[in-house]
Amino acid sequence: MYALGTHLLVELKECSAKILSNLEEVQNILVTAAKIADATIVEVAFHEFSPFGISGMVVIAESHLSIHTWPEYEYAAVDIFTCGNVLKPQKAVDYLIDKFQCKSPSVIEVKRGILSPLDKELPHKVCASKIKKPEVIEDVCDEHPKQPALTADQKTA
């Protein structure tokens, strides 16, 4: 039987607080982990909190990778959700453990979605050229004005 997706819940304890505090480094590590898993990256968004902590998301055509760091506890919570079975999420996990210098990792694997009763594979690998990126973010909160989404070119400028 095949699930629509695999969700890895990754607990990274006893990590380098210095790395977990560095926004650019955390973002680069998560983006590289997605690439190592052979994922198709669609969007990247990260935010640094004061006095410390980072939350970030790498949206991939096959689902997502997310992270929340607590450098003060030398801890990071990572989710890796991949649709189908063509990606290599465990390679991403191994990379994260190494790069965050994690001394006490644990991983829980959850199969998500409707299982195929016919033992039919569900690959879910999307071609990047078929992905349409949103032009405008609709803001449902009245206290903030609607703003156009940044294009990839604007983000790198």
Residues known to be catalytic: 63, 68, 83
First and final C-alpha spacing in the chain: 46
Q: Output the CA–CA distances (angstroms, integers) from residue 116 to 11, 63, 64, 66, 121, in the order listed.
A: 29, 19, 22, 27, 8
Q: What angle do CA 92, 98, 104 make, to 5 degrees?
A: 100
Q: Quick one: which of 140, 139, 157 has its CA closest to 149?
A: 139
Which single residue is written with the structure tokens 């970030």?
A: 56
* SS3 call for 18: helix
